[in-house]
Amino acid sequence: MFANILRPPPVIARTLVFAALLGAWELASVAGHVSRFIAPPPSEILPAIATLFTDNDLVAAFLRTFGEVLAAAAIGSLLGMIVGWWLHHDRTAGRAFTDWIAATAAAPLVLLFPLFLVLFGRNAATIIAMGAVAALPPVILKTKEGLDNVRTVLIDVGRTFRLTRWQQVKLILFPASLPTVFTGLRLGLVFALINVVGVEFLIGFGGLGLTIAELGDRFEIAGMYAAILFVVLCSATFFFLTEKLETWLLSAR
């Protein structure tokens, strides 16, 4: 029993650590060790979230960003799965380009926004294009990894039953690689969200990124932190929902 108290469930442990960090932040801010101008205490940030809905039209900003993220993730996921399939199917291309794509995944692609501004202008197309580009590398890599790791015996069974190429993809390759592919889709969605909000912030055009930029320009620091916290919560929610969707799809295979 004593051991169980020392080892609480993961959810409780995470909650306790998070509460302890917030408490330390609050005490440091109240004691003056942390400037309220730089990092307001949580007791000021959390109530500011409600103010964002009434004074900054947070719902409209969220819906705009949400639409751009979905469009970017859809484009990046579709193109990424196609390229991932090509790299799996063409072994020479896979050996030649996989390392390049992995290096691209680690690069700060958001710095390319001036180029996209020249190509598309200061509008939603630039934001969606940047989000799609950011979503591409994880989707490509995970699609290729999932297809490469399909067990050979499953493919041999398909050949025994004389399945066509499309039937092999539909009945064997796609179901077997789905867990890994879905990991790439989840990462692509999160990368798209990060870059969409980042580009909105940089070019000052609509959505949650513009809301954060405007709050910072007005020196509403608590509101700015509240908006950032809202973006973090949205990202965590997207990840959670896609995880549940993956579980449902795997159970329905």
pLDDT per position as a tens digit, 30-85: 777 877 777 788 888 888 888 888 877 888 888 899 999 999 999 999 999 999 98
Residues of the chain above pLDDT 70, percent: 95
Is residue 243 predicted with pLDDT exceeding 60?
yes
Predicted local distance difference test score (pLDDT) of residue 149: 87
- Average pLDDT over every residue of 158-173: 76
**What tokens does 16 get?**
């306790």
Length of the chain: 253
Predicted local distance difference test score (pLDDT) of residue 4: 54
Fold of the CATH domain 47-251: MetI-like fold (1.10.3720)
| Residues 75, 83 contacting (CB under 8 angstroms) | no
- Average pLDDT over every residue of 101-114: 82
Is residue 2 predicted with pLDDT exceeding 50?
no
Contact residues for 208 (Cβ-Cβ < 8 A; gap 6+): 58, 61, 62, 65, 197, 200, 227, 230, 231, 234
Question: CA-CA distance, 73 to 192, in Å (whole number)?
Answer: 6
| Residues 80, 184 contacting (CB under 8 angstroms) | yes
pTM, full prediction: 0.81
Q: What's the burial of 223, exposed, middle or buried (CB within 10 Å: 0-12/13-18/19+)?
A: buried
207 in the Ramachandran plot: left (φ > 0), alpha (ψ -120 to 50) or beta?
left
Is residue 244 predicted with pLDDT exceeding 50?
yes
Predicted local distance difference test score (pLDDT) of residue 78: 94
Beta-strand ranges (E) seen in 81-232 are none
pLDDT bucket at 93, cuts 50 / 70 / 90: confident
Type and span of the H or E element at 54? helix 42-55
pLDDT single digits (tens) 179-201: 888 889 888 988 998 899 989 88
